[in-house]
Structure 1
Amino acid sequence: MSRSSRATIALAAGGTGGHLFPAEALARELMARGHAVVIHTERRGAQYQQALAGIDHVVLPASSLEGGIAAKASAALAILRGVLASRRDLRRRRVALLVGFGGYPSFAPALAAKSLGLPLLLHEQATRLSKANAQLLRLADGLATSFPTVAGADAFDASRIVQTGNPVRQAILAARGDYPGLDARAPLHLLVVGGSQAAAVFGRVVPPALALLPEALRARLRVSLQYRGDDADAIDAQLREAGIEATVQPFFDDMGERLRDAHLVLTRAGATTAADLLTIGRPAVFVPLPHGGAREEQRRNAETLAAAGVGWHLPEAELTPAALAAILREAFESPDRLPAAARAAAALGRPDAAARLADAVERLLASHR
């Protein structure tokens, strides 16, 4: 296929970074191959201006179907408006195929694409199908996965499933490098991130947990804590009073560099967070969301990665200062535990996931021409 005849591809993604960042990675890979690309998302997704820079995107109305009768009726109306708006844009651009990345905002574009007879490829980032992807699976022409097995996909034709990995941003790919050394006198870098929610529980538990560590460990610690809250200054002061050098910010623009430098990461267990960790090859303490629609997904991710030797699974109900301090002491005082976990993480990483997914897009496109 000549460069000038490359098709226009639409991507549909929910409004969280966990959905939008993989879509961005695929978009840039497809654009590098000469395709025109548009991302359909909702207002939260549109706030990731850096991720969307240089990529055409459409902001659609969207709403979750959860709630009572009135909420469901309002959501159904929003989805209908989203379908009509997405359908108009797909027709205007002469889109040839749509890739759905999950999240309820991806539902309307997928329905719009199928109403126009376009092939639909779903990408599942987690170890279990998201609610949106589970609903759309019967309409899909193909399924790309991040893990070898995905709960909920058993009934789908195995010949139409391809494991691509989860595409990560260029900033993460650029940060790949060897695991930092663990010299007995060198600083120990701990990165604490709560995903798009910037988990408040980490702000409550991390400072007292670190204060329980031996003085020699505390003196070596360099902590980067992602935290949003009015008490951020107080948390920073707590850490410094314990003799710990810390940076407390609501968001890190240099996440790739901080992941590269980290000896250990304390984090939620979202699929995109996991993909970033595995791509760079860093061990982690996973604290899955304790409630909400993503709870089961994150729990399974954490269990899978902990079983693979990537780190520790610590349910939030068990996240106490004493429990966290025990894990951190075990990790930092063992000469082998963290390097081994880093190797396990790197072995699971798929730095070529965006290219693999773009290949799947082009194969599906060719089969429908």
Structure 2
Amino acid sequence: MNEHSRHYVLAAGGTGGHMVPAAALAAELRRRGHSVALVSDDRGVRFPGLFEDVQTHVLPAGRFGKNPMGWLRGISQVRKGRAMAMELYRSFKPAAVIGFGGYPALPALLAAFRMKVPTVIHEQNAVLGRVNRLVSGKVDAIATSYEEVARLKHKHMQKAVLVGNPVREAVLALRERPYPLLEEDGIFRVLVTGGSQGASILSQVVPDGLALLPVHFRRRMQVTHQARIEDIDQVRAKYAEHGIPADIATYIEDMPEQLGWAHIVIARAGASTIAELTAAGRPAILIPLPIATDDHQTANAKEMTAAGGARTIPQPAFTPTELAKQIQRLGLDTVGLENAARRARQCGRPHAARDLADLVERIGGGTTGMAVAGGAD
């Protein structure tokens, strides 16, 4: 490590939406010679391929649902997690703690406040999440992925810095590849993905919707469809019935490669999905998850849709007929699809990891360790 190297703690909930941007920042900070530790839950520290060579720590993290009876246990878990985080900070001496949302980030940030360690939070969605809302008044900076972020209080906006949502290097590399050539008699590739868990609604609607497209398109279509395990047989039978070649899997391991070849993507509107679509420049039909907290997926889809890089269909209106109609409005000709791809790409923020690391270094640059305050109470 060089003389300017520092230690940073990244705290994130264990879902891909939190872990992927945290991993991208970790890679960038380590490239700059810094040391990084991860604080998460059991899922996060086991997340495949992201933090395998980074020191990881599991902290208790209470959840606060609608039932107040569970709050006492939640508060107890948070206090326990905060004490463990403070113990970590005494030995690791972080220059800053960076929270990516999710309940496991809360005790790590509370410990940082107590020990006067500088803090940054990163919000992946277009609506500030629960934990980030809770701590936004006390953190030193709020890194955002969108120009407009709902639920961010006006008095905290001066702390907000637009950086974008970091994506994996393999996805970022697609930005340098041209949109795949769509020839008159060539293959038309469709990628269908419902996020890490799949989405049954996509399996129910998409095969029948694609079957309604003009016959000359249907005959040269190749579909890659991620489906839940309980839906696979039904989805396979539907594509076979319509004569549409399709590869169906519960998990797509080579997602960056599939995204690179896709002419159009049909997907949920999670933060990581939008970040990857706009980084790569791929047109999309987006079906926001209706039960997402604060309807944040609908908010995520707005910028890309307004730019002309996507069409959004609310789930109650998501029928085979509507899907076919919106695909045709997006464009079924080379010019239309290439225009939509260009507009999607213009929404991308390819330097998100770099800009977030710059912010983190700036916030954490004034300390070589931290001021050690009193113990846990």
Aligned to 1:82: 81
Q: Describe the SS at the equivalent of 1:127.
A: coil
CA distance in 1, matches of 2:24, 2:285: 26
Q: Does 1:223 align with 2:223?
A: yes
User: How does 1:1-369 map onto structure 2 within 5 Å?
Assistant: 3-176=2-175, 177-293=177-293, 295-368=294-367
The 3-state SS of whatever aligns with 1:336 is helix
TM superposition shift of 1:336? 2.9
Deviation by residue 1:93-130 (Cα, 9 ceiling, x = unmatched): 11121011112221111111111110111111122211
1:263 Cα offset (Å)? 0.8
**What's the offset of the Cα at 1:347?**
1.1
Question: Partners of 1:158 and 1:316 in 2: how far apart?
Answer: 32
Cα distance, 1:332 vs structure 2: 4.9
Contact 1:24 / 1:52 at 8 angstroms: preserved in 2? yes
Report the secondary structure of 2:36's partner residue. Answer: strand
Q: In structure 2, how many angstroms separate the alpha carbons of the residues matched to 1:184 and 1:77?
A: 63
Counterpart CA distance in 1 for 2:110 and 2:166 is: 24
* Segment drifting more, 265-274 vs 322-331: 322-331
Q: Deviations over 1:276-313 (max 9, x none)?
A: 111111111111111142x5211111123211212101
- The answer to whether the 8 Å contact 2:137/2:156 transfers is no
**2: CA distance, partners of 1:264 / 1:168:** 19
Q: CA deviation at 1:134?
A: 0.8
- Partners of 2:289 and 2:121 lie apart in 1 by 24
For residue 166 of structure 1, report the CA deviation from its aligned partner: 0.9
Deviation at 1:324, TM superposition (A): 0.9
How far is the alpha carbon of 1:159 from its aligned partner?
A: 4.3
Give structure 1 stretches of 5+ with no counterpart: none
Asked if the contact 1:305–1:311 (Cα under 8 Å) also holds between the matched residues in 2, the reply is: yes
- SS of the residue aligned with 1:168? coil
1:74 deviation in Å?
2.3
Q: AA paired with 1:280?
A: A
Deviation at residue 357 of structure 1 after TM alignment: 0.6
Q: Using the alignment, how far apart are the partners of 1:183 and 1:308 within structure 2?
A: 25
Decide whether the 8 Å contact of 1:15 with 1:44 is kept in 2. Answer: yes
CA contact (8 A) 1:84 1:112 kept: yes
1:158 CA drift (Å): 4.4
Separation of aligned partners in 2, 1:90 and 1:278: 37
Please give the per-residue CA displacement for 1:176-196, whole angstroms capped at 9, x wherever unaligned: 311112211111111111112
Q: Provide the identity percentage.
A: 38
Q: Kindly state the Cα deviation for residue 5 of structure 1 after the two structures are TM-superposed.
A: 4.1
Distance 1:288 1:328 in 2: 16
Cα distance per residue 1:43-80 (max 9 Å; x no partner): 22223121112122112222321121222222222222
Q: Distance in 2 between matches of 1:220 and 1:81?
A: 58
Q: Give the TM-score, by structure 2 length.
A: 0.93
- Give distance in 2, aligned partners of 1:239 and 1:113: 53
- Offset from partner CA, 1:185-212 (integer Å, 9 cap, x none): 1111111111123111111111221222
For the residue of structure 2 that corresponds to 1:300, the secondary structure is helix
CA contact (8 A) 2:310 2:330 kept: no
Any unmatched runs of 5+ in structure 2?
369-377
Deviation at 1:157, TM superposition (A): 4.7
Q: What is the alpha-carbon distance in structure 2 between the residues aligned to residue 341 and residue 47 of structure 1? A: 37
